[in-house]
Structure formats: structure tokens, C-alpha cells
């Protein structure tokens, strides 16, 4: 699998998205070529501004940020997450961020296409929210799939989901898009599900250490306060799962997470199973394999993330 020297980050910021994006921007091991926003944790008008605030916090307003899908492919989005991310998407801390960087006037799809056409190396697409933008790219521009090194997506759950049904939030937001991405044979996919992210959590000491690394890090950590309270209330857990951060680490350094290949289908029904990611373990099953990240060295991963993010100061 190629080392991802070039990234497109497709995101719906989102507290854990902010940690993931800033981790990528702090890394010298990758080149973030574009950030594309979609609806998700909050509506597109907020996620688009948040993405631009995050790149501004990193001092990287040179990176183009474009707005993409405002809704799922087929059905209206059934659930948003203000109780986790705040009405502003950044834990009600958006006023502490710099003014948003410039908005790229192109639709997200056009920006993604431009990056792929211009890149001399394979590009990794990192999906941190609903997979709508990426599904549209794959459907509208199949000729560009050879230019995509792989897709790394945070989403899904082989066990318990975290929405009103059985699905994980990102997949539940647009199961049709997720099914399109996870069942296509052209581009390798690594899926980072709740089964892993809920077992690799950052405690108060980790957050405090990061906060002390500098004012930018302190701004980032402040976004997590509401998220921490919601985690305590729902899971009785005194630590937070920064789901998207794990996916970003795998995108930057392939092999950080240990994966198991499975064929995966997504339930696109309208019942309580909507959004479930269902592995097909039959020995005679057909279809493309998805590398599902189910294990890692948690302490090492968190130490690496802390090391990256602390360089922001």
C-alpha cells in the first residue's frame, strides 16, 4: 500500500474532526492538498466555516477548502449531533478560533477532481464524516479512480452502533453513499469502526498535556469539554474517543492500525437496522474486500497523536 504523500480530507467538523485535521496539518509525512466539507455533525453552513477556522488555526489558509454535499444522496438526514459537538460544531468554542480562511469557490467535487488530475502521486481520500462527497466522486468520475491510492474512512460498527438505530453515525447519515464506497472494487478502502475507536480513548491527562503544549493546542482542547461531558453521561467513561484522529493516523502512516479484510454491505433499509455495516464472512462470498481496522497499540497511537499535535504549539 503506497505511503500517502498527498491527502484530500473530506470532513464534517465536528470536535474529533478538528483533532484529526490539525493532526494532519502538523505532520510532515503528508501533503494536505484540499479539505472538503459536508453536512454531518451539524449543517453544511457550519461545517464549511469550521473547516476554514481549523486550517486558519494551523496557519494553513493556503490549503483550499470547498463546500460539498448539503444532504445525503437519497433520504433526508435523520440525526445530527449538537449534544456532542455543540450547535456550532466546535463544542461552542468557535469564537476562540481565528476568522475563517478563504472559501474556495468551486464545489467540493470540482476541487477533488482538480487535485486528482494535477497530482503526480496517488492521493489518499480521508473520509471523516458521511461519505456523500466521495461517493459522488466515484460515481461521476470513474476515470480518476486510478489516481486514488486508497480511501480511509472513519465509520461503521461491527457491534453496537451509536445512533437511534444500530448504525454508526457517519454511515447512518448516508447509508447509500457508504454502500457505494464500501462495495466498489476500484479503490482500496480501510474502514476504522467504533469497535476500535471506542477502545482507544484519550483521558484527561492526555488532554491536559496537549493543552499545555501551546495556545493553539489549548484552543483545540477547549472544544472537547462538551464532548467529554456527553461521553460521561452516555457511557460513564472518563475519557473520550477521538474517532477521526485514529483514521487520520492510519492515513498518514499506513499500518498504524491492524486490519482484517472483510466483504461489507451496508443496510439501506428504512427500519431499525438502517446504517448497519454487515460483514459477509461466508467463505464463498464474492465482492471487494474492505480492510477493517480492529486492533492497534492504543498507548503508542495516542502518544504518536500527542507528539504530532503538540508541534502546533
Cell of 92: 461552542
Cell of 234: 452516555
Residues annotated as catalytic (active site), given as ranges: 243
C-alpha distances (whole Å) from 117 to each of 141, 147, 148, 223, 254 are 11, 8, 10, 36, 23
Amino acid at each position: 500500500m503506497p505511503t500517502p504523500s498527498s491527502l484530500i480530507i473530506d470532513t464534517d467538523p465536528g470536535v474529533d474532526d478538528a483533532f484529526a485535521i490539525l493532526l494532519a496539518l502538523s505532520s510532515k509525512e503528508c501533503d494536505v492538498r484540499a479539505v472538503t466539507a459536508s453536512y454531518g455533525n451539524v449543517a453544511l453552513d457550519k461545517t464549511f466555516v469550521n473547516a476554514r477556522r481549523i486550517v486558519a488555526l494551523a496557519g494553513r489558509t493556503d490549503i483550499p477548502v470547498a463546500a460539498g454535499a448539503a444532504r445525503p444522496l437519497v433520504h433526508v438526514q435523520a440525526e445530527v449531533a449538537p449534544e456532542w459537538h455543540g450547535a456550532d460544531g466546535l463544542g461552542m468554542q468557535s469564537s476562540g478560533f481565528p476568522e475563517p480562511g478563504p472559501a474556495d469557490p468551486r464545489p467540493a467535487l470540482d476541487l477533488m477532481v482538480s487535485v486528482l488530475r494535477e497530482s503526480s502521486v496517488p492521493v489518499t481520500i480521508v473520509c471523516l464524516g458521511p461519505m456523500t462527497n466521495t461517493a459522488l466522486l466515484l460515481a461521476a468520475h470513474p476515470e480518476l479512480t486510478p489516481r486514488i491510492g486508497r480511501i480511509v474512512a472513519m465509520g461503521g460498527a461491527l457491534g453496537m452502533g451509536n445512533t437511534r438505530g444500530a448504525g454508526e453515525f457517519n454511515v447512518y447519515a448516508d447509508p447509500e453513499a457508504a454502500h457505494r464506497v464500501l462495495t466498489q472494487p476500484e479503490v482500496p478502502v480501510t474502514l476504522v469502526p467504533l469497535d476500535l475507536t471506542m477502545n482507544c480513548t484519550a483521558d484527561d491527562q492526555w488532554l491536559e498535556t496537549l493543552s499545555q503544549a501551546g495556545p493553539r493546542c489549548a484552543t483545540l482542547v477547549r472544544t472537547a469539554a462538551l464532548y467529554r461531558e456527553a461521553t460521561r453521561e452516555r457511557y460513564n467513561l472518563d475519557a473520550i474517543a477521538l474517532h477521526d484522529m485514529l483514521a487520520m493516523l492510519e492515513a498518514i502512516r499506513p499500518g498504524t492500525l491492524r486490519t482484517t479484510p472483510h466483504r461489507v454491505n451496508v443496510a439501506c433499509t428504512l427500519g431499525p437496522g438502517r446504517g448497519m455495516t454487515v460483514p459477509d464472512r461466508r467463505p464463498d462470498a464474492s465482492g471487494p474486500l474492505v480492510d477493517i481496522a480492529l486492533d492497534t497499540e492504543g498507548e503508542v497511537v495516542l502518544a504518536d497523536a500527542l507528539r504530532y499535535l503538540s508541534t502546533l504549539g
